[in-house]
Chain A
Amino acid sequence: MGISDSFFASRFNITERDLERYLDEALSRGGDYADLYFEYLATSAISMDESIVKSATQGVSLGIGVRVIAGERTGYAYSDDLSPEKILKAAKVAACIAEGPSQVEKTPLQEGPRRNLYPVIVAPTDTAFSDRVELVKRADKCARAYDPRVFQVQATYADNLRHVMVATSDGVLNFDRQPMARLNVRALARQDGGPPQSGHSGGGGRVGLEFFLNEKTPEHFATEAARQAIVQLNAIEAPAGELTVVLGPGWPGILLHEAVGHGLEADFNRKGTSAFSGRIGQQVASPLCTVVDDGTIRNRRGSLNLDDEGSVTQRNVLIENGILRGYLQDKLSSRIMGSPQTGSGRRESYAHIPMPRMTNTFLMPGESDPADIIRSVSKGLYCANFGGGQVDITSGNFVFSASESYLIEDGHLTRPVRNATLIGNGPESMRHVSMVGSNLELDEGMGVCGKEGQSVPVGVGMPTIKIDKMTVGGTA
């Protein structure tokens, strides 16, 4: 596909000549590098509450972001109008960051290699609304039928289709079409007029609607949400203090995202403000730990054919057998640090400056039988599901909130416990990983990562692991 066949050419008559002209304007005051990010985003959302489809929304936003880099400085401007005058104006504003004559020889635009990690023929956004409404109706019905103690169900479905085009002064011209869909279910259960408890489940990815019909059905998510709410009805107070913790497979991989991933983003490391700064080649985790960030897994929520700077995404080994191997780079950081790019430059939208971000972050499987891991603990906590997490990059302290966990007593799961936050220090906690299971699972596709006010979709994954010591924030 050439630019003439691209979405932006056919819809907005944008030619390669236009792109060259905008890049020239962006570099007219000097500067080492410039790029253009065109985005057209169509979204839809449907929500059901009290068995009523209470809202349905759709819409379009579009725009272009122009960035100019001069040394370590960045100038950025954007426009939600794709007329040449407005784009040139944005390019002029972004150009102001640079002073002096242009120092850079622009490379002619050349289309990058093409591949498709999400070959979705009909994007969910382009399907009949009645088919999508059916998903929330099925979820609502199934969650209510799961157990008579379930008394409230909310099911929400959201999808989007993003067309992007990136053109850079170092010659990259790339296009992508990025579908995304997600279904979420929340259930509340109550027993004999007692206090309610909630359960939540959700997932999706860069998939077509058939994913929800054939692979992960509304009934799958509904059953899971209802099950979690029912489990919580019998939960006791969570323990407080240092304990041995076993994390289940899949979504608990958020541990890696918080404890390791953010601290390895290159922007913090080139500035020396991360707890992992200057530690490449050092042992930062137990030798059982190999942590990977991989943007190339088919149909995953965190996957991208190209990052938001037009670079091809790849599989990056961050920690290998406990040794820190590398950081997640965007173009700016890789230039300044003199490190190879990793395809990790991402942004929320055309109105945002790209920065190093994760894609799908997971721990490679080990050799332990998951059942043996639980059996090896005489007193501890098993966490099966989590809510969100957060990290203080500089100190390395991170938290995540367990939404479904059980006491481990003499090698067996016993009572479910109430929600509690777990806290640790990134490099230190990873050294306490003493067993890694053989059962790697990726999450179901509902992660959203926030950094400096920008949200992007991500994935996580992990096998069952044992951490010898973590602080559990309960009350008992």
Chain B
Amino acid sequence: MRDLAAGIVKQALAAGATGAECTMSEGDEFSANVRMRELETLKEAGSRGVGLRILVGKRTGSAYTSDFSSEGIRLMVRQAMELAEVTTEDPHLGLPDPAELGSLEGDLALYCGEVAQMETPFKIDLAKQAEAAALDADPRISNSEGASCDTNLARHVFANSLGFTGEYRSSNCSLSAVPVACEGESMERDYWFSLARSFAGLEKPADIGRIAAERALRRLGAVKVQTQKVPVVFEPRTARSLLGNIFEAVHGESIYRHASFLAGKLGEKVASEKLTVIDDGTIPGLFGTSPFDDEGVPTRRTVVIERGVLKTYLVNTYTARKLGMKTTGNAARGITGNAGIGHGNLYMERGHKSPEEILKGIPNGFYVTELIGFGINIVTGDYSRGATGLWIRNGELAFPVSEVTIAGNLSNMLQNLEFIGSDLEFRGSTAAPTLCIGEMTVGGR
């Protein structure tokens, strides 16, 4: 595949391009779903795609196809070239500086061959065990949206006209359960999952089912509270979403457009000094790790916020040039098009207090276990989302709460971060421990 990608780049240059980037990916997916102890769905397939982005001077064009025949590739090259005629010259357009290209050395533990060897009946059985553990946990778990075991294997190739070619494989397997708890008029569902590069890294099916059941059960009989301003604690699962918001706010494209509340704040104190945010694409075995980004630049460890001070934005080559920076190795794209920006493993450094210690200091507050909706405006930082969780009374989780909103402004929320927990765990490419924000508006009755 590497040779094919390099060959496509050559073909583009021969067709008149002054620069070219070719992305190729190939993947196999498998999914087994069970529901109420019976197999419900099996899905299995493989697919591949190739994309090309060409430069003609300061103009660009992109195309993609799933047709790998020489005719299909020729058509893709022609289509990309055709589009360079309709785009406008952009002075900042270009490939990375050659000196910046490269790939991390060593085994990043992204691929585990045994994932491909897992037999279908074995995977079905894992899902059945996870669901059974949830159903057997309590008589009130009387229904289920099921449990699933998924595996994915992928190969990713990138080549450009500066001579870079790179390739890596990755594997993933995941196991999840979604039980439904019922009591009287109240019906609630929740979930738990485990994601790993290898089967050995998965949590035990019985634990996944049990935790999912406990989570659904503790939501039963939820009430709506009165509107009030209180401390709000985000458990790790919801705290992760705040990292996602921080990512959007330090995203190079939002910055050059002034479409972020953090634009122009480099070097300023934008958060409580308790907060340190790091993006690290180099940690072996994790889900945001890769040897190079989608422009062929090695990934790295970047401190984004250090003890409350904004140290850098996350950029690719284009946005770096717009902002007078150097790329941070955060280029990301699908199969084609101009590179966008992504993160590696984006996480908050852990604090010293356990979640229990954080709760203990709160006489009256809200512990958020699920957030819904899209009410976040990165331009202004205005934050308003639907929330579900548990009310904190005298330092303890007292009763379930739902159908309320939590609102504030991200800028104030970050300054007002009172505690960061010690319970940091990587369950995806973003990771945050328990967080406590001094005050937010809970909207209810």
Contact = CB atoms under 8 A, between A and B. Distances in A.
A421 interface: yes
Contacts of A390: 372-374, 386
B379 interface: yes
B379 A57 contact: no
B443 A397 contact: no
Interface in A424-476: 424-425, 471-475
Given A60-B67, A195-B380, A77 B373 contact: no
Contacts of B1: none
Contacts of A419: 375, 377, 380, 382, 384
Contacts of B403: 395, 397, 423-425, 471
B40 A72 contact: yes
B88 interface: yes
Q: How large is the interface on A (under 10, 10 to 19, 20 to 34, 35 or more residues)?
A: 35 or more
Given A421-B386, A475-B408, A389 B373 contact: yes
B382 A421 contact: no
B307 to A, nearest CB: 25
Interface string A113-145: 000000000000000011001000000000000
A73 interface: yes
Chain A, interface SS category: strand
Contacts of A389: 373-374
Interface string B235-271: 0000000000000000000000111010000000000
A296 B44 CA distance: 33
Contacts of A234: none
A55 B338 contact: yes
A132 to B, nearest CB: 8
Contact of A473 (B67, B90, B375): B375
B48 interface: yes
Question: In the complex, which range does the number of interface residues on chain B fall in?
Answer: 35 or more
A471 B88 contact: no
Contacts of A77: 43-45
B47 interface: yes
Given A240-B405, A241-B443, A473-B375, A420 B83 contact: no
Contacts of B76: 59
B11 interface: no
A50 B402 CA distance: 43
Nearest to A60: B65
A198 B379 contact: yes
Given A73-B41, A351-B45, A271 B402 contact: no
Given A240-B441, A471-B224, A418 B382 contact: yes
A103 interface: no
B90 A471 contact: no
A49 to B, nearest CB: 7
Given A392-B372, A394-B189, A90 B336 contact: no
Interface string B42-66: 1111011101000000001111111
B227 interface: yes
A10 B333 CA distance: 34
Nearest to B68: A81
A97 B385 contact: no
A91 to B, nearest CB: 12
Interface in B365-413: 370, 372-375, 377, 379-380, 382, 384-386, 388, 402-409
Interface string B11-53: 0000000000000000000000001001111111101110100
Contact of A353 (B41, B337, B445): B41
A271 B36 CA distance: 10
Given A419-B377, A475-B384, 4 more contacts: A56-B62, A76-B42, A78-B45, A420-B384
19 contacts: A46-B86, A52-B88, A54-B87, A54-B88, A54-B338, A61-B66, A129-B82, A129-B86, A240-B227, A241-B444, A242-B445, A353-B41, A394-B188, A399-B372, A399-B373, A421-B405, A473-B407, A474-B407, A475-B384
